[in-house]
Structure formats: C-alpha cells, structure tokens
Amino acid sequence: MGSAPATVQEMRRAQRADGPAAVLGIGTANPPTCLAQDDYPDYYFRVTNSEHLTDLKGKLTRICNKSGIKQRYIHLNEDLLAANPDFTDRTRPSLDARVDIASAAVPELAAAAAAKAIAEWGRPATDITHLVFSTYSGARAPSADRRLASLLGLRPTVSRTILNLHGCYGGGRSLQLAKELAENNRGARVLVACSEITLIAFYGPEGGCADNILGQALFGDGAGAVIVGADPVAPVERPLYEMAFASQTTIPETEDAISMQINKGGMEYHISNQVPRLLGCNVERCLVDAFRALGVSAAWNDLFWAIHPGGRAILDHIEGVLGLDDTKLAASRHVLSEFGNMSGTTVIFVLDELRRRRAAMAKQGGEAPEWGVMMAFGPGITIETMVLHAPSNLDLKGN
C-alpha cells in the first residue's frame, strides 16, 4: 500500500477513537394514554371482563399500593381492545395482531424519543453511523431498527443492530455496545434506541398466574434514545456522561428467576419473588469489580446512581446492602413513580432525570458527585454495570 499508516497496528490505532465514549444527547417519549395506579385494578378487571375474579383484583390492588408507582403510560387503549377482543385471553391465537400493531408503534415511539436526542446532540441525523435498537415488543424482520432508520432519514450505510428479548437489561446492554462501537470506530456516532409497548404481553387475569398480576402492577410503555460518541466536537457536542468502564455479570443458578417467551397468545413471563434478594446479594460484587478494574476505590455514598427501577423492593434492597443515603436513588424512584417499569427503556429515563437533577443542583450552586454508576437487570439474571463520569460543565439544556 502507498502512504502511511504502514502497519496493521497503526491502521487499527488510526481507526480507534482517542477518548472514552460519552453520552451526547438523551430523549424520551411515551404513548398518550396515562393511567393512574390507584385506578388501574378497576380499569384492568373491567376491560378484561373479569370483575368476578375478586381475589385476583385484591392481589393486584395490594401490589399496586406497594409499588411506589403513581401512574403509567400505555399504547393499548379501549378502542384497540374492542377491535381485538382476543387480546384479553392468553389461550387465543392473537400474536399476529399484536405483532402487526407493535411493528408500527414500537419504531414510531422510538422515533419520537430519538428526535429529541438528536435535537439535543445538535448535529443532523445523517451524521449517525450506527444504530443499536433494543425491544421485546416485536417479532418480525426487517425489524424496528430498519423502520426507525427510515423514519429518521438515516444514511443507508448506517450499521444497524437489533437486540431482542433482553427485557429490562436491554438499555444497559445497548449502551455498553454503543460504548464499544464509539471507542473502536473513530468519528462514530451511535444512536441507541429502546422502545417497549406492553401490548405484546397484555392479557386478562387467570387463577394461579401471579406473574401476570405482578406485571399488570409494574410495567408501562415508553421509549428512550441516546446519542453516544467519543472525542466530542466542541462547541456543538457536549458530553453529559463519559463512559469509563462497563461489564456484564450473570448470577449463577438463576436461569429460571426471570423468563420471557413468545407464544401464540402473546408474550408470557415469569418473575420470581426472589429477584430483589438475588440482586441485593450480588450488586456490590459487580461494583467492587468495576472500580477495581479502574484501579480506584469508591465510597458508595460519594457517587451518583442510575439504577434500573425494576420494582420498589429492588431499589430498597440495593439501597440497604450498599448503605446508601435515602436521596441517592431519588432519580430511579421518581422514574418508577411517574412511568412504572418500562423494561430496558427505563434506565435511559433515569439517566435523563439524573442529569436534570444535577443541572438544577448546579444552578443553585450545589455540587453533584463527578463519578457515578448505571446498573440494569434482567433475565439471566443479568446485571449490567457501567461506571460513568459526569463532566463539571454539565449541559443545562435538559432543564
């Protein structure tokens, strides 16, 4: 070959970014229908014609009361249910209709979130080089990533990846993948999009199926989008969080603790009541390993925290084992309260809420921690851990 770089090593170095990947923009979106948690048991048993199942309604009410959730957003409305009565019966073959609806709605919701992330980032959508899309809400190819690329007018050379059925760790996994892509491809700008509509897993109550009652109390619909890139080009690009270190851990012998399966009647799932305890027993090891890999030690209360709020009890357990002050998980508790558990999308809402809180604190002359941690959990049981650094010139645009 003619001119330098001459060696494969030099070529590789030239292709890699100099600095760490960073979050350069965040956007979120929800469907228009918002349901108050206090009203949800009445709503759910009415729209599924199950008012006679008073024991199950009592259970749903008890869980809703303890959920730490005030409201949730949902794509499915009563008109859609009236047009698709099979959606309330898990034994009826309704997967085709669910996938039809999700194939349009999931990328559209993602596009609404992505438009906000791109606007904050400040560069045209055609500068995006990679797309990582995570969802459990569809089952078709070409998938939601292909449709999202069209909706946003991305270049045909955009390198697309779809992650399916990662459940609640999809956001963490996508951001880790984006970090690798951004750091290993000089100039790369990665759009991460997570979009979930629970329509794929909505059905009526049945005796002996506590999982469904739990799901009805916890989950909601939403999309989150993040632009990730290394070596930000000032003054247009400003890093919100730098991604210092990322890891994934699988808790041994927990294969059956959280599971999801697509069936003819929609997606079925199981969530063991041991999940909060299992996470509580394992998060500190992940954190110690992450900071050891970076060669630093950290006092947990000196960090900021973006924890996936899978359920109120999960946050309580983590707060307890790490000895966190009760303000440390405020962003996670706020997102849980306002939106419920939106699976993989939720952690992006937490990052968004956290930076708003940090910016508000900075405006008042307060000092927020520079270093922090993002964690997400899901089937496996899988724990995604990322150590983040928030530059002191935190972007105030999110306010």
Ligand X SMILES: CCCCCCCCCCCCCCCCCC(=O)SCCNC(=O)CCNC(=O)[C@H](O)C(C)(C)COP(=O)(O)OP(=O)(O)OC[C@H]1O[C@@H](n2cnc3c(N)ncnc32)[C@H](O)[C@@H]1OP(=O)(O)O
- Residues near ligand X, by CB under 6 A: 35, 59, 62-63, 66-67, 72, 74, 167-168, 198, 201-202, 210-211, 214-216, 219-220, 258, 260, 269, 271-273, 275-276, 310-314, 341, 343, 378
For residue 55, the minimal CB distance to ligand X (Å) is 8
In the annotation, is 286 catalytic? Answer: no
Q: What is the DSSP letter of 1?
A: -
Identity of the residue, 84 or 184, whose beta carbon is nearer to ligand X in the bound complex:
84
For residue 342, the minimal CB distance to ligand X (Å) is 9
Q: Which residue is nearest to ligand X (CB)?
A: 311
Identity of the residue, 179 or 317, whose beta carbon is nearer to ligand X in the bound complex:
317
Identity of the residue, 35 or 97, whose beta carbon is nearer to ligand X in the bound complex:
35
Go through 50-76 and write b for each residue having 16 or more CB atoms within 10 A of its CB, e for each that does not.
beebeebbebbbebbeebbbebbbbbb
Q: Where are the beta strands (DSSP E) in the chain?
A: 21-29, 33-36, 71-74, 130-135, 159-164, 189-196, 222-230, 241-250, 258-263, 266-271, 304-307, 371-378, 382-389
Q: Among residues 64, 168, 194, 286, which one is catalytic?
A: 168
Q: Crossing angle of helices 54-66/210-218, nearest 10°?
A: 40
The alpha carbon of residue 107 and the mean position of all alpha carbons in its chain are separated, in whole angstroms, by: 15
**Residue 89 buriedness (CB in 10 A; 0-12 / 13-18 / 19+):** middle
Identity of the residue, 56 or 188, whose beta carbon is nearer to ligand X in the bound complex:
56
For residue 389, the minimal CB distance to ligand X (Å) is 27
For residue 13, the minimal CB distance to ligand X (Å) is 39
Strand, coil or helix: what is 193?
A: strand
Q: How many CB atoms lie within 10 A of CB 210?
A: 15
Rounded CA-CA distance 377/318 in Å is 12
Q: What is the DSSP letter of 271?
A: E
Identity of the residue, 22 or 200, whose beta carbon is nearer to ligand X in the bound complex:
200
For residue 260, the minimal CB distance to ligand X (Å) is 5
Helices (H) and strands (E) in the chain, counts: 12, 13
Identity of the residue, 41 or 167, whose beta carbon is nearer to ligand X in the bound complex:
167
For residue 61, the minimal CB distance to ligand X (Å) is 9
Catalytic sites, residue numbers: 168
